[in-house]
Amino acid sequence: MTDLYTKIKEVTELQGLPGFEGQIRDYLRNRMTPYIDRCETDGLGGIFGIKESKDIDAPRIMVAAHMDEVGFMISDIKADGTFRVVELGGWNPLVVSSQAFQLILADGRQIPAISGSMPPHLIRGSNGTSGLPAIGDIIFDAGFTSKEEAWKFGVRPGNLLVPKNETTLTANGKNIISKAWDNRYGVLMVAELLENLSDQNLPNQLIAGANVQEEVGLRGASVSTTKFDPEIFLAVDCSPAGDVFGEQGAIGDGTLIRFYDPGHILLPNMRDFLLTTAEEAGIKYQYYAGKGGTDAGVAHLRNSGIPSTTIGVCARYIHSHQTLYNMDDFLQAQSFLQALVKKLDRSTVDLIKQY
């Protein structure tokens, strides 16, 4: 587990907001290159490693994470030197205030910043409570005395604010607390998949990598599936755990069989393939109905229709600075993904696509 924790710490402490995924793309390129035949990017910046097959008429299988995490972009610099923002990805306003951020300037420099909050002393006139703020009203502060001073330091509208957090291991050694497990989970899954399958001839052409701009509307998946035209699409993504809220999704209970979300319904033949493979491989899994979407929601509608699913894990408190998740869930998901990819030969793919 120590080696896995080290890998997780490395990838979760990288920074990559929607449209600005360069650090993550570089990480994946370096991790993938020794184990693939070639590397390709799409026009928005998605990156994929291609592993060819020696089999005749090998089907094209796409395994896709997404590189981006949630954060903010400066929309306005106020006269007093503070900022207002637009959100990049979904945020609960309750978790935004009083947090540490890195303000990333256009030249790559980083400046410490925080999100403001209203002290209780200043809200006593409203019975000691304040209303839920809109994201656009939350103050972000890097300590500048004026708009002119902020401008002099290079701050501009369009600069990024990335959550700042150190990845740590919980006391029992089973779980991790970090930012961005959604979806550095998927990025690490892809890297580990290609390394573990590097010396094997697969019964398919494997196209494995990560999309951009998932958190702002599943944009990258539309581009990459159009470019590579896979016959099967496996999204690799992290979902919210509801265990502490009395809902579905428990950390430590294994990978997810995600049978429904608002943008995707698991097809019967794909469901049977997933369940049969999980049982044969001894994978620990749980059923999961998603309340948000993944890249599978876009991918399955592209080209002539692409049977899709999501190979996932769940984590507590996602889309915040502090996400808590289980390391064994990652290992279960990785074993599951490897087993699926190894079985996706021409006859299996044709059976999944049979109606």
| Known binding-site residue numbers for Zn(2+) | 66, 182, 215, 237, 319
For the annotated binding site, the residues are: 66, 182, 215, 237, 319
Query: DSSP string spanning 112-176?
Result: EEEE----GGGGGGGTT--PPPPGGG--EE---SSHHHHHHTT--TT-EEEE----EE-TTSSEE
At 260, list the tokens: 């429904």
Beta strands in 279-322 (DSSP E): 285-289, 308-315
Cα gap 113→74, rounded to integer Å: 12
Cα gap 44→149, rounded to integer Å: 34
Cα gap 343→79, rounded to integer Å: 61
Cα gap 202→342, rounded to integer Å: 6
66: Cα separation from own chain's centroid? 5
Positions marked active-site: 214
- Asked if 140 and 72 touch (Cβ cutoff 8 Å), the reply is yes
Which residue has 């994470």 as its token pair? Answer: 65
